[in-house]
Amino acid sequence: MKVAEFLSYLNSLEIKLWLEEDKLKYQAPQGAMTPEIKQEIGTRKPEILTFLRSAATPSKPLESVINTVARTEDLPLSFAQQRMWFLYQMDQQNSAYNEALTIRLTGRLNIDILEQTINAIIQRHESLRTTFPMVEGKPIQKIAPSLKIKLLVINLKDIPQEQIDKQIIEELQKPFDLTQAPLLRCTLFDLGYENYILVNVFHHIIIDGWSKGILFKELSKFYQALLSNSTVDLPELAIQYADFAVWQRQWLQGEILENQLNYWKKQLTGAPPLLELPTDKPRPATANFRGHSISFQINSELTEKLKLLSQKSGATLFMTLLAALNTLLFRYSGQDDILIGTPTANRNRQEIEPLIGFFVNTLVLRNSLEGNPTFSGLLQQARNVVLEAYANQDVPFEQVVDGLEIERSLSYNPLFQVMFALQNAPLNALESTLL
């Protein structure tokens, strides 16, 4: 595996490496830096240092630098936004792409300061002030110079929990109009006795999972600063989301696009169009979102065993669980060519890490269980598939589908019908900071 691929893989785990006075430094979420990863970094340290030094030199191509662009011209959508905009056009009343950040707050709460906090974050991030009107037959990003919302407060004191849940669900399911601001709603449910639930709902086109962590942190920072009438402890943003969108369309073309697209064509050519799982009802002619969810827990003892197996195999917990899911789908479907989708944060540049916006891409992980391999063999295959996928993660999923020229159907998603995601970046408690 090339050093760039290895660093891309580390980035997918939110492990950041950088040079500081010519010394290699790192930052990682708790548990991400396993002994195996640390050992591999040590083994590859000379080539990593060489790579990082070369990336920091002035010879870096100009097109790799994300610059700010004027807001006087029509601003294009990013590839991710374009994909989401297209899905919205198919069903504008569909709330399936509403994203929520729900936070339980306890203690004395200054509601006016909380509203000011939300509006300060909206002013900090242009994406939260963006709508998507049509101009000359194509969508653009329209950024409002300023935008303030009113925090809706609903009194639910002494209301049964099922009614509280119903109110929250109703709030989550209200659709947005992408041409009208704001594309977010904030509702504070006052449960009484200094207990609250803050429900923030956004259309997915302006936010992703990584962004929720940013929003969560900035809620705390701004609230404390405004409450104490002090300056917020956050650096200025060097760029905004629209700058990234313009850069992405300039950068992802030519040889860069061709090389990554060629990988996906080679990897996915001849893939089965559909995973035939046994179901209690026939697949509808047009897919809908009227599904059901089932929750269950894996106990801590089994979790630790899975982590230990991952470490011994030189893999991550994600890779081990992916191999297990492949095994399960193989047994249920009887198919030995399994394709699973997975979301990737797609934030492999330092400039975009602190931005709220929709960067996420979808990768297709294809594994073969032909010949009924051992789990150890399947895990090593899954490891290689994941590493290669992350090394070619920039190509938008829809371009991969177009490049393969596969037959489309309204009945099922192209290439994969099962998605796997591991949410392993826990949010810190916020209650104490809002007292």
CATH number, domain at 216? 3.30.559.10
C-alpha closest to that of 29 among 425, 427, 430? 425
Q: Work out the angle at residue 387's Cα, subtended by the Cα atoms of residues 381 and 393, and round it to the nearest 5 degrees.
A: 130
pLDDT string in tens for the chain (435-residue length): 567 667 767 776 768 787 777 788 887 776 778 887 888 898 888 888 887 776 554 434 435 789 999 999 999 999 999 999 999 998 899 999 999 999 999 999 999 999 999 999 999 999 999 999 999 999 999 999 999 999 999 999 999 999 999 999 999 999 999 999 999 999 999 999 999 999 999 999 999 999 999 999 999 999 999 999 999 999 999 999 999 999 999 999 999 999 999 999 999 999 999 999 998 888 888 887 777 889 999 999 999 999 999 989 988 899 999 999 999 999 999 999 999 999 998 888 889 999 999 999 999 999 999 999 999 999 999 999 999 999 899 999 999 999 999 888 888 999 999 999 987 654 555 543 444
Shared domain for 202 and 338, answered yes or no, is no
**Phi first, then psi: what are they for 302, rounded to 5°?**
-65, -40
| 284: in domain | no
CB distance 91 to 204 below 8 Å: no
Shared domain for 229 and 129, answered yes or no, is yes
CATH number, domain at 29? 1.10.10
User: What are the CB-based long-range contacts (under 8 Å, 24+) for 17-23?
Assistant: 17/41, 17/48, 17/52, 18/52, 19/49, 19/52, 19/53, 19/56, 22/49, 22/53
Domain of 395, in residue numbers: 259-279+300-425
Q: What is the pTM of this model?
A: 0.82
| 43: in domain | yes
CB distance 7 to 391 below 8 Å: no
Predicted local distance difference test score (pLDDT) of residue 427: 53
| 253: in domain | no
Shared domain for 56 and 86, answered yes or no, is no
Shared domain for 111 and 142, answered yes or no, is yes
Shared domain for 86 and 50, answered yes or no, is no
Shared domain for 28 and 122, answered yes or no, is no
d(CA 364, CA 221): 37
| 400: in domain | yes
CATH number, domain at 342? 3.30.559.30
Shared domain for 227 and 315, answered yes or no, is no
| 228: in domain | yes
What's the DSSP call for residue 57?
S
Shared domain for 103 and 199, answered yes or no, is yes
Shared domain for 25 and 127, answered yes or no, is no
Shared domain for 237 and 317, answered yes or no, is no
| 29: in domain | yes
Total domains present in the chain: 3
Shared domain for 106 and 43, answered yes or no, is no
| 417: in domain | yes
Shared domain for 336 and 222, answered yes or no, is no
| 415: in domain | yes
